[in-house]
Structure 1
Amino acid sequence: MGDRTRPALYSIPAHRAFADSLVAGLIAQYGADPLALARGMILLPNNRAVRAVSDAFVRASGGGLLLPRLTPLGDPELDERLGSALDPIGMGADIPPAITPMRRLMILSRMVQRVRRAAGQPVDAGEAIRLGQALAAALDQMEVEQTPATALRDLTIAPELSEHWQTSLRFFEILMAQWPQELARRRVIDPADRRNRLFAHIAARWKDAPPPGFVVAAGISTTAPAVANLLARVATMKGGQVVFAGLDQHMRGDEWDAIGPFDPDPMTGRRPPGHETHPQYALKRLLDHMGFDRAEVAAWRWGSDHDARAARGRSISLAMLPPRLTSRWRDLKPAQRTLAGVEALEVATSADEAQAIAIALRGALEEPGRTAALVTPDRQLATRVSAHLQRWGIEADDSAGQPLSHLPPGTLLIAMAEAVADRFAPVALLTLLKHPLVMRGEGRLEWLEGVRALDLLLRGPRPPADLRGIDLLVAEHEGEDRLRDLRARVRTWWPQARAMLAPMEADFAQARALPEQLAAIRTHASRLSAETIWAGHQGHAAAALFADMEEAASDGPDEADIGALPSLLDRMLRAVAVRPPQGGHPRVAILGLIEARLAHSDLMILGGLNEGTWPGLPAPDPWLAPRIRRELGLPALESRIGFAAHDFASALGAPRVLLTRSRRGTGGPAVASRFWLRLRAMAGQQWKQADWLKHCVHGLDAVAHHRPSDRPAPAPPVEMRPRRISVTAVDRLNADPFAFYAQRILKLSRLDPIDADPSAAWRGTAVHAILQRWADEGARDPARLEALTRELFQEADAHPLLRALWQPRLLEGIGWIARTVAEDRAAGRSIWMAEKEGRARIAGVTLTGKADRIDRMPDGTIAIVDYKTGKPPSAKQVRAGMALQLGLLGAIAEMEDGFDGLPIGVRASEFEYWSLGRNKQDGFGYRESPVDPDGRRDKIRNDEMIAMARALFTAAAEKWLTGDAPFEAGVNPEVASYGEYDQLMRLEEWYGRADA
């Protein structure tokens, strides 16, 4: 009834602003009657398109205007948006309600978990959610393409697939058989199925009773059969129009036919795959499903037109030719390669790219009324550009928003989940305690002081798990001076923090099911943040998501291990994008590809044109192999590249375009996008570089006169230099004077990482703790060493990595010490003292040291013994003054009152390292000495050891401690602490220069 004889099909070319041109045409057709626009309806692809067209109406109205009904076809509440067009009075459609997306995800995740568990391949809740999301996407695609579930049974290629894909297909078939039963039990249908039924119902209603006003379908490119059928109805009914965005009318007939989709194979009845990556593939497939030809599409008459950009459109069309036709580029004349108004910028790094884009956006604002936009799928690049724009006070209107997982409410929820999942491990605990939403208000500063003190205390290996482990760490330890003050500070603050965390630990210990875990997260997030987590537009988004999750969680995964909760929350929060309600700068915007499809600016910057970014790599489908998807008639994963290509080609129609890429991204060297390479190859000599922006980037923050630092040689006054030094610090003084200066005079020391693996120093501390206990027992029975070692590792505060990995090796090394001590005792050698402090005055400086062991030799002399967990120093290092510990301890022992308990006149004759490293007999433990009675093997003579050590120490003391010599910076890779102070000494500025 009232159908047209010819379809009303139009296209707005890429060089026109789609939304503005569409609105201009509608106002020209219906604007004379104030109510004609209000009676109309515009069908749009999504809510973002609704916003773009609504803004275009505002710009074009010049005052008051009654807008037509703007309806996004992808809206979950489609029936409410369509209103009376869907359900005229008395003519209802019997369409069941759709299951909510969150409940569907939870049910599918539970089904996946059960099927995998039955097959002996269990997955945790986080992985079940991931697979459930992919399964929901596959179900939607089958519904959209109207592929029946029975098509799976007709597949003949399953035996040809790899075992992995056969297993995935078997699981998919099981789930496809169970899912309709689950929907029928709940009396609901899939959202995609409901949309298909709604579209069919609308098309049928409009065939007999078209709406009273006009209907325009604009900017829709989806190839779904139900949508194509609806668009065909709109195009042929009275008052209906279909307006495509960027349908290429420059292409010749053979070029258009080469895109596909192709005619079905007469033997198999199946269509061969087309060029899904071509920007026009989706529109051509849509026209094919609608039953129309490109020749029936007319140009939209309204909107601004520019001949130069129209010519550019033909060049863009040529650049995007199917691969087998690109040989035509050789025959193009210079006029056919024109890219007037398009410039390209290639820089070294993504940081330079962001800076250049920000400068270009800022420059666009110099012209009154001019607009500029960055279009990129690279969110990291967009964030950097926003940060650069803020230096000029520009808050760009970022229409894509930010994932909720990156915003404070989301990061707090994830931090809480990680803290309980990791049993309050140091990194997770500190992340939670430092979060900006925790303890907000007047007590925040005092709270952070306590957290910082705990941060310092947690440096090094991980304490035992749970809050009990922190209790043991904070508790007072006997005989440890280094951390006593820090522990005392933390002890005054920790009870407050523990009182906040203990209820959370107790609740999660009992929360076995997902609903209980989500309830615990919500309750304690509210308590830790004093309800601020749910405030503001970000908090409202988090609250809405959490309410949906809690409502549907009872249908979620059966087995919800607490360890999977962080990944589950991160995946759910990442799917929610939050946009500031107030928008941003009216003339500068940052757009994603979806947002940019219907928007145009005077300057369009297409950023991040690297392969893998634009176009992005298709996300793999864990359920259906690519060949299975093709056999089922589902869109290939590569079809997303075609949409990205269409977005790229459309954005190239702006008045001025800047293309940017970096040769190196955040992950390493980057390859130019296929779109960049195609455009450059086609343009040839017409390819224009925006090199002026490179100069701006380098000049913006450039220093006029670079004056590199000289090699540091600090020379503090003599009275500021230490007069007390340990024997181990002497080695650093000789080997690296600047490091000694930084540590002893500036009081700067390197902090261990949080949750660090046990280093050699920490392992050495464990060894000395064992031997200290053994020495304190008095009897020093070698048989007790192994028992003491096991007792130490059984203590609650023993590091789990030391206990699990290093205890067997240490037991073998300790066993060697016990056997060697017993053998020495049988030979007349005995332990005189162990872990003994000594001191002496040499060269005007008090020298202190702790002897691991001093043994009495059969001839009445003494041996100085030092324990090592690794390779001992060599005689060469001793001669160089970088390992004087044994010699200086011997010097202290020979001096009066050097070590309490040693008689006057005692003489040191042996100097030994007892290493717990691997020996030559494939075991652990060996004895090494830098001295030899006759100086053989380039060793030091026994009787020269102490004199040499005293001489080297005296020279060092007179030079740096009692003298005024500068502590000159140097590079010495043989020093254990090499590199700790490279940044402080500004090594890269002076190292390698001739004058340094």
Structure 2
Amino acid sequence: MILPEPAPRVFALPPGVDFAAALVAGLRHRMAGQPPEAMAGVTLYLNTNRMRARVRDAFAATGPGFLPRLHVLTDLAEGVALPGLPAAVSPLRRRLELSQLIAGLLDAQPDLAPRAALYDLADSLATLMDEMQDEAVDPATVAALDVSDHSAHWARTGAFLGIVSQFFTGSTAPDKQARQRLFVDRLAARWHSDPPPGPVIVAGSTGSRGTTAALMQAVAALPQGALVLPGFDPHMPGWVWDRLTDAMTGEDHPQFRFRRLMERLDIRHTDIRPWTKDTPPAPARNRLISLSLRPAPVTDQWLTEGAALPDLREATRDITLIEAQTPRSEALAIALILRQAAEDGTSAALITPDRMLSRQVTAALDRWGIMPDDSAGRPLSLSAPGRLLRHVAALMGRKLTSDMLLTLLKHPLAFTGGGRGNHLLFTRRLELDLRRKGPAFPTGPALIAWAKAQKGDGILPWATAIASLIDIATTAGTASLTDHVATHVALTEAWARGTAAEGAGTLWDKEAGAEAIKLISALQADADAGGILSPAEYRDLFEALVAREVVRESTSPHPHLLILGPREAREQGTELVILGGLNDGAWPRLPEPDPWLNRQMRKTAGLLLPERQVGLSAHDYQIAMAAPRVVLTRALRDAEAETVPSRWINRLMNLMEGLPAQHGPAALAAMRDRGRHWLALSAALELPTPAMQADPRLRPARRPSPRPPVTARPKELSLTRISLLIRDPYAIYCRYVLRLKRLDPLRHEPDAALRGQILHLILEDFVKNRPTGETLPAARARLMDTAARILDDQVPWPAARALWLARLNRAADFFLAIDGRDQGTPVALEGKGGVDLTPLNFRLTGTPDRIDRLPDGRLHIIDYKTGTPPTAAMQKAFDKQLLLAAAMAERDAFKGLEASEVARITYVGLGTNPKVEETEITPAITAEAWAGLHALIAHYSHHGAGYTARRAVQKERFEGDYDHLSRHGEWDTTDHPHPEAVGEAP
């Protein structure tokens, strides 16, 4: 017998020992003297596929020979035939079936939950079902719980749990987890009557799940069965093991699962024997970590047992602590450590649950052409096929916006089947037109009408093909899941196919395409269980499904650098381990709220507590901390606030700070010093080199004040541009000298500018069509009817229409009270005029909103504002629009109003708080305004006058259209302008 020890045979390897290598070495040692083919009679159950690969590599490294049978605990039935065992239903089908049952429940009791949560509820309920089946807990046990203190919540929970009862009767196909449990029960029964002839070993599992623990119990009872536990702590005294009995206080301890396994096997910790004689790289450090992780109720033993620890400076000699200010500096420091490891030929692994951190590290390594082996792969939802599928799903049953259309048109997979070149050319032309003219919500007919007005071969067929796809997608309605999937796939393939006669372009190519078609095929196979869904419900369902899939692409990563998740800590065997993102809430992650059962109810029912995940993470941390060299990293702040260090780091630092006799504070300071070295290097990496500092292009910009040739300066400006010339001359330079126009936004929004335009249209129409003798109530009704008609015609956003109409309704009485109170007669509505400033070779133009002729023959100039009108002081210094309009009128600038005197100017503010700013006009006022304009224009008629950026903005937070060109932010308004001649002949 290769396992002569009495049953149950439970072995272990301590943290820090390369588990795969030690497992193979121990098995080889026990098989010594056996014939070579005897190894083929050994059955090994391993915790993950990665562990199976490492064990296979470890066997190969020891020379040629037979391999044992290698199975993975997540798929126990692989390669094993058990007659009569029914096939498992797919997880997707079960969730779709549950969603239909939940939909029926919500139809009967709408107050239970919103329908938008349909798939989330089904997924959560299926997860609870899996756990109940895994832990052999039936619905009757849960239903029998004492819920007197939670009657309202339990009434809702009970309604949902009533749905799942039918899946525990055995009348339906089992779930994957139920089949796993059924397989283990039948396999254990078969082993009991007919034990396997060869050794059976379960290695690498903690037995944290009920089904796995049941298998381990069955294996331990076999004549040649054994368990090999990973990361078993040999430094915990017996009295601590004895106190690890209450899940409520001990579930989050890294060794708690082993304590539960001992109870199942009726053994003590002393009965667990070492699998090999391998010792960890740093036994003293393991003792320190073990003590720091003691259960909370017994941490008072830190003082007594801490005194027995050796010099902590030596125990922590190979630990580095990096406390970065930001996640970016943390990622750069990690990247530098990994780069150094690559240069030295040292095997290194970054272990972190923070996917954002791992992506930042990968991006930082890319600058040196280093690609680590990332075990997590890339989310399918972020791949090119995944994005295109998501974009098309988002379009179904929704009104199309310009940005949504261009997102689809610019996708790298669009029209990859044929006509890609013309497609990109036509897309660019369409984008410019959509930005300038809209519409905000493109339609198929609008796209075809645009194409007919364009020149060029092929543009009309291109637009027609896209228009048909848009119409099919946007008109999608409630349908069966089967129909939704068929429409979704057909639209996506057509979008990728382009002008080709058949195929799907490159949509399904490469690894990402293969994963995408695999997901689609699974959805098509189970779609008959999905029932009837609205487009929004289908979109939510697809987003949830694609977010779970991962693509592992064919790359050539660096052979010594790994990025792993915490659960893979026990499977790595690298010399250097970096534990990244060690902040509470990230590592360990906070337990997710359970919508069904609280902690006490879970404990009573025999289900797992939320702290189980924390305990598993603690076990992973304890194993990773035992590597030969360890780097601990965390960011002191994230994007929102200061962070809290991981509870394990907190415990370690507190323990060390409390042991001055063992030089704990000095050891901790040395760990931080080693971390500061890498932080200094990462900071230096961000600084410009001397060569870069000497490059004038990389120096901070000075506040610009360009001085173009006088001949290139604007010879004409409108009234509204004069205030801009006063406040931000640089904007005038960009617009009228450089001829740069602000690019219209991709998505048209109901912004303040549009609101102002619409208000002017409404009031112009209202005033122009005023009937004689109209009463005030009739005028109000006509005003609101006019507003509703113009809003319906010009504003395609229902919410904006309703909001703007409500605002005008509040201001209507105010407007009607002041409108025509001086018996003026409108003589010009949006009438354009102009006048020359002699002898300056400059022309001022303007289009006042409204000019009334008063009974005494004088003029009243009116301007409407959707916000707060400018005060008299603001008009005198900056906002001279109406003052200059009055001066223009007195100089016969407006046709038909020659030889007229201006009596007053009025700004009518129709914002949230309606207000009127009225100024009586005198010849002195207009003369002063005109003289000021002459002085302003004359100033800029000299070559020495520069167009200074943000010369006198009203608010510091004012955002100009050309601030990015002036590199505002590298300078501020306290800096002196930097005049610079531009556009001069060489």
Shared fold per TM-score greater than 0.5: yes
Cα separation, 2, equivalents of 1:302 and 1:453: 73
**Pairwise mapping of residues 343-354 of structure 1 onto structure 2 (< 5 A)?**
343-354=320-331
After alignment, is 427-436 or 653-662 more displaced? 427-436
1:597·1:650 contact (CA, 8 Å) conserved in 2?
yes
After alignment, is 170-179 or 497-506 more displaced? 497-506
Cα separation, 2, equivalents of 1:594 and 1:608: 15
Amino acid at match of 1:791: R
* Matching of residue 364 in structure 1 with residue 341 in structure 2: yes
Question: Which of 234, 258, 263 is matched with 2:219 structurally?
Answer: 234
CA shift at 1:865, angstroms? 1.5
Q: Evaluate the alpha carbon distance shift between residue 771 and residue 233 of structure 1 in structure 2; reply closer, same or farther with a 3 A threshold.
A: closer
1:840·1:847 contact (CA, 8 Å) conserved in 2?
yes
Question: Which of 500, 516, 527 is matched with 2:466 structurally?
Answer: 500
The one-character-per-residue Cα deviations of 1:912-967 (angstroms, maximum 9, x if unpaired) are 11232355xxxx5x5421x24xxxxxxxx633232122122112111124553012
Match of 1:144 in 2: 134
Match of 1:737 in 2: 729
Match of 1:515 in 2: 482
Q: Evaluate the alpha carbon distance shift between residue 630 and residue 778 of structure 1 in structure 2; reply closer, same or farther with a 3 A threshold.
A: closer
Cα separation, 2, equivalents of 1:994 and 1:887: 32
Amino acid at match of 2:136: Q
CA shift at 1:410, angstroms? 1.6
Cα separation, 1, equivalents of 2:578 and 2:701: 40
DSSP-derived class of the 1:386 partner: helix
Q: Evaluate the alpha carbon distance shift between residue 458 and residue 814 of structure 1 in structure 2; reply closer, same or farther with a 3 A threshold.
A: farther
Q: Evaluate the alpha carbon distance shift between residue 450 and residue 774 of structure 1 in structure 2; reply closer, same or farther with a 3 A threshold.
A: farther
CA shift at 1:642, angstroms? 0.4
1:789·1:811 contact (CA, 8 Å) conserved in 2?
no
Question: Which of 92, 100, 104 is matched with 1:110 structurally?
Answer: 100
Amino acid at match of 2:886: G
Question: Which of 271, 278, 293 is matched with 1:296 structurally?
Answer: 271
DSSP-derived class of the 2:900 partner: coil
**Pairwise mapping of residues 39-188 of structure 1 onto structure 2 (< 5 A)?**
39-58=41-60, 60-62=61-63, 64-75=64-75, 78-81=76-79, 83=80, 86-87=81-82, 92=83, 94-121=84-111, 127-156=117-146, 158-161=147-150, 163=152, 165-180=153-168, 184=171, 186=172, 188=173
Cα separation, 1, equivalents of 2:13 and 2:951: 67
After alignment, is 845-854 or 525-534 more displaced? 525-534
DSSP-derived class of the 1:35 partner: helix
CA shift at 1:606, angstroms? 0.5
Unaligned runs of 5+ in 1: 262-271, 477-486, 933-940
1:346·1:661 contact (CA, 8 Å) conserved in 2?
yes
Cα separation, 1, equivalents of 2:376 and 2:858: 80
Q: Evaluate the alpha carbon distance shift between residue 31 and residue 381 of structure 1 in structure 2; reply closer, same or farther with a 3 A threshold.
A: farther
Q: Evaluate the alpha carbon distance shift between residue 367 and residue 444 of structure 1 in structure 2; reply closer, same or farther with a 3 A threshold.
A: same
**Pairwise mapping of residues 376-387 of structure 1 onto structure 2 (< 5 A)?**
376-387=352-363
Q: Evaluate the alpha carbon distance shift between residue 546 and residue 646 of structure 1 in structure 2; reply closer, same or farther with a 3 A threshold.
A: same
Match of 1:951 in 2: 931
**Pairwise mapping of residues 721-736 of structure 1 onto structure 2 (< 5 A)?**
721-736=713-728
Question: Which of 644, 648, 653 is matched with 2:617 structurally?
Answer: 644
CA RMSD of aligned residues (A): 3.1
CA shift at 1:339, angstroms? 2.2
Match of 2:900 in 1: 906
DSSP-derived class of the 1:431 partner: helix
CA shift at 1:608, angstroms? 0.6
2:102·2:160 contact (CA, 8 Å) conserved in 1?
no
1:834·1:852 contact (CA, 8 Å) conserved in 2?
yes
After alignment, is 275-284 or 493-502 more displaced? 493-502
2:135·2:209 contact (CA, 8 Å) conserved in 1?
yes
* Matching of residue 894 in structure 1 with residue 887 in structure 2: no
DSSP-derived class of the 2:297 partner: helix
CA shift at 1:592, angstroms? 0.9
Question: Which of 823, 828, 831 is matched with 2:826 structurally?
Answer: 831
Matched residues, number: 935
* Matching of residue 854 in structure 1 with residue 827 in structure 2: no
Q: Evaluate the alpha carbon distance shift between residue 199 and residue 982 of structure 1 in structure 2; reply closer, same or farther with a 3 A threshold.
A: same
CA shift at 1:568, angstroms? 1.5
Question: Which of 203, 220, 223 is matched with 1:218 structurally?
Answer: 203
**Pairwise mapping of residues 467-478 of structure 1 onto structure 2 (< 5 A)?**
467=443
1:774·1:788 contact (CA, 8 Å) conserved in 2?
yes
Q: Evaluate the alpha carbon distance shift between residue 500 and residue 106 of structure 1 in structure 2; reply closer, same or farther with a 3 A threshold.
A: same
Match of 1:539 in 2: 513
Match of 2:259 in 1: 284
CA shift at 1:521, angstroms? 0.7
Cα separation, 2, equivalents of 1:551 and 1:441: 27
After alignment, is 646-655 or 622-631 more displaced? 622-631
Cα separation, 1, equivalents of 2:115 and 2:446: 29
CA shift at 1:641, angstroms? 0.4
CA shift at 1:861, angstroms? 1.9
**Pairwise mapping of residues 197-208 of structure 1 onto structure 2 (< 5 A)?**
197-208=182-193
Amino acid at match of 2:365: L
Q: Determine what percentage of the aligned residue pairs are the same residue.
A: 33
CA shift at 1:460, angstroms? 9.7
* Matching of residue 791 in structure 1 with residue 764 in structure 2: no
2:447·2:463 contact (CA, 8 Å) conserved in 1?
no
Q: Evaluate the alpha carbon distance shift between residue 47 and residue 357 of structure 1 in structure 2; reply closer, same or farther with a 3 A threshold.
A: same
Cα separation, 1, equivalents of 2:388 and 2:971: 44
The one-character-per-residue Cα deviations of 1:571-609 (angstroms, maximum 9, x if unpaired) are 111112221244622111111122332212111100010
Match of 1:807 in 2: 805
**Pairwise mapping of residues 672-711 of structure 1 onto structure 2 (< 5 A)?**
672-684=645-657, 685=665, 686-687=667-668, 688-689=671-672, 690-704=675-689, 707-711=699-703
1:713·1:738 contact (CA, 8 Å) conserved in 2?
yes
Amino acid at match of 2:793: E
DSSP-derived class of the 1:604 partner: strand
* Matching of residue 989 in structure 1 with residue 964 in structure 2: no
CA shift at 1:205, angstroms? 2.5
Q: Evaluate the alpha carbon distance shift between residue 588 and residue 710 of structure 1 in structure 2; reply closer, same or farther with a 3 A threshold.
A: same
Cα separation, 1, equivalents of 2:723 and 2:50: 68
Q: Evaluate the alpha carbon distance shift between residue 805 and residue 457 of structure 1 in structure 2; reply closer, same or farther with a 3 A threshold.
A: farther
Match of 2:282 in 1: 309
Match of 2:696 in 1: none
CA shift at 1:696, angstroms? 0.8
Match of 2:235 in 1: 250
1:217·1:234 contact (CA, 8 Å) conserved in 2?
yes
Match of 2:38 in 1: 36
Cα separation, 2, equivalents of 1:731 and 1:203: 87
Cα separation, 2, equivalents of 1:462 and 1:328: 72
DSSP-derived class of the 1:893 partner: helix
* Matching of residue 14 in structure 1 with residue 15 in structure 2: yes
Q: Evaluate the alpha carbon distance shift between residue 605 and residue 473 of structure 1 in structure 2; reply closer, same or farther with a 3 A threshold.
A: farther
Match of 1:935 in 2: none
Match of 2:662 in 1: none
**Pairwise mapping of residues 542-553 of structure 1 onto structure 2 (< 5 A)?**
542-553=516-527
TM-score (norm 1): 0.88
Amino acid at match of 1:901: G
Amino acid at match of 2:322: L
Cα separation, 2, equivalents of 1:462 and 1:110: 41
CA shift at 1:691, angstroms? 1.0
Amino acid at match of 1:248: D
Amino acid at match of 2:324: V
CA shift at 1:162, angstroms? 6.0
CA shift at 1:614, angstroms? 0.4
Q: Evaluate the alpha carbon distance shift between residue 254 and residue 462 of structure 1 in structure 2; reply closer, same or farther with a 3 A threshold.
A: farther
TM-score (norm 2): 0.89
CA shift at 1:801, angstroms? 3.1
Cα separation, 2, equivalents of 1:6 and 1:786: 90
Match of 2:911 in 1: 917
Question: Which of 549, 558, 563 is matched with 1:585 structurally?
Answer: 558
Q: Evaluate the alpha carbon distance shift between residue 414 and residue 489 of structure 1 in structure 2; reply closer, same or farther with a 3 A threshold.
A: farther
Q: Evaluate the alpha carbon distance shift between residue 465 and residue 328 of structure 1 in structure 2; reply closer, same or farther with a 3 A threshold.
A: same
CA shift at 1:471, angstroms? 5.1
Amino acid at match of 2:30: Q
Cα separation, 2, equivalents of 1:125 and 1:927: 50
* Matching of residue 875 in structure 1 with residue 848 in structure 2: no
